[in-house]
């Protein structure tokens, strides 16, 4: 579970083509990183996978099922954004519990699931605090907690660390890698940080102006970039 296939996925806004026939197979449990300059269509692609945006053409297939017309909540996907809007008046517990409350889960189950998520993210002793009392890294962990309580097969991260300072980003990179190993879920991770891409990815997808310039393992892209564009982004500058 957690296999994702994009089949000539296309998105136009009016007459402007933003995603231009992207085809890609993401293996179950893979950590796939999307990189590319601002405006190349990374967020639009993630939003289509999550079901927050319709495709103009092409198919999105999850575990063999075409999900183009499926509601976001039914896709088994959780998305974590850069601006992780936590509810300031709610405790950490209630912020993480929120998606479960929406689903109408019984209180005992909510406690179990929030407790398990808090343990994974080392937030057990923060559960009764408000987000305003937490560090940036802790707040980001709460946002991730809200994603993992629903036990999705696929996680989508849209530049989740870009609001954090460099030291915190380095810590969170390690935490996310640990989380990935622990959960075994498929993760698609958008970043414009080359270090994140090189250290976290099983494979990197380089996007350029709405299409895939190259897909490969980090060292493969680094040593054998196929275009100057890829070389400029990831490649060895020799
Ligand atoms: P990235 O995340 O790679 O920076 P985006 O996917 O956010 O890129 O945006 C890709 C392009 O699509 C940009 O030119 C952006 O202005 C345009 N775009 C994104 N959303 C919309 C929208 N709702 N309406 C019109 N244009 C949009
Ligand atoms: Mg974006």
Question: Which pLDDT score, from 0 to 100, does residue 233 have?
Answer: 84
Strands (E), 75-210: 77-80, 154-158, 186-190, 203-208
Residue 126 has pLDDT above 60, yes or no: yes
How far is ligand 1, taken at its centre, from the CA of residue 203, in Å?
Answer: 24
Q: Are 230 and 37 in contact (CB under 8 A)?
A: no
CB 230 within 8 A of CB 206: yes
What kind and span of H or E run contains 12? strand 4-13
pLDDT of residue 167: 85
ipTM associated with this complex: 0.98
pLDDT at 237: 56
Q: What is the pLDDT of residues 187-237, one digit of tens each?
A: 999 998 888 999 999 999 999 999 999 999 999 999 999 999 999 888 765
For the stretch 134-162, pLDDT in tens is: 988 899 899 999 999 988 999 999 998 88
3-state SS, residue 109: helix
Provide the Cα torsion 68, 69, 75, 77; round to 10°: 60
Provide the pLDDT for residue 193.
86
First to last CA, the chain: 41
**Mean of per-residue pLDDT scores for the chain:** 93
Q: Which secondary-structure segment (H or E) carries 183?
A: helix 166-183
In eight-state DSSP terms, residue 192 is S
Residue to mutate, 22, 44, 206, ligand 1, most ligand atoms under 8 Å from C-beta: 44
How crowded is residue 71: how many other Cβ atoms within 10 Å of its Cβ?
A: 8
CB 23 within 8 A of CB 6: yes
* Average pLDDT score over residue span 28-40: 96
Question: In 3-state terms, what secondary structure has residue 24?
Answer: strand
Q: Report which DSSP code applies to 126.
A: G
Q: Residue 192 has what pLDDT?
A: 84
pLDDT > 70 in the chain, percent: 99
- On the question of pLDDT at 238 being above 80, the answer is no
Q: For position 207, what pLDDT does the model report?
A: 96
Residue 8: closest CA among 19, 18, 30, 23: 23
In the chain, the percentage of residues whose pLDDT exceeds 90 is 80
* Ligand 1: nearest atom to the Cα of 14: 25
Closest ligand to residue 12's CA: 1
Residue 36 alpha carbon, nearest atom of ligand 1: 3
Residue 25 CA to residue 230 CA, distance in Å, equals 20
Local structure of 49: helix, strand or coil: helix
Q: Tokens representing 12?
A: 């136009």
- For residue range 48-73, what is the model confidence (pLDDT) as tens digits? 999 999 999 999 999 999 999 999 98
């Amino acid at each position: 579970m957690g296999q994702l296939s994009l089949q000539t996925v296309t998105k136009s806004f009016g007459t402007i083509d933003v995603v231009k026939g992207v085809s890609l197979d993401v293996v179950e449990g893979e950590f796939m990183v999307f990189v590319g300059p601002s405006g190349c269509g990374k967020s639009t692609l993630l939003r289509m996978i999550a079901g927050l945006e319709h495709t103009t053409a092409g198919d999105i297939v999850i575990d063999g099922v075409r999900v183009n017309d499926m509601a976001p909540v039914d896709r088994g996907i959780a998305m974590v954004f850069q601006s992780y809007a936590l509810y300031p008046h709610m405790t950490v517990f209630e912020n993480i519990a929120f998606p479960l409350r929406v689903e109408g889960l019984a209180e005992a189950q909510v406690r179990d699931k929030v407790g398990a998520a808090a343990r994974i993210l080392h937030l057990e002793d923060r559960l009764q605090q408000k987000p305003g009392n937490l560090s940036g890294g802790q707040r980001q962990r709460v946002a991730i907690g809200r994603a993992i309580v629903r036990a999705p097969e696929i996680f989508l991260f849209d530049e989740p660390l870009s609001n954090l300072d460099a030291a915190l980003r380095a810590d969170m990179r390690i935490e996310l890698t640990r989380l990935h190993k622990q959960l075994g879920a498929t993760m698609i991770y958008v970043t414009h940080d080359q270090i994140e891409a090189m250290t976290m990815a099983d494979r990197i997808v380089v996007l350029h102006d709405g299409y895939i310039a190259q897909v490969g393992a980090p060292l493969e892209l680094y040593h054998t970039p196929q275009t100057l564009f890829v070389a400029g982004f990831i490649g060895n500058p020799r």
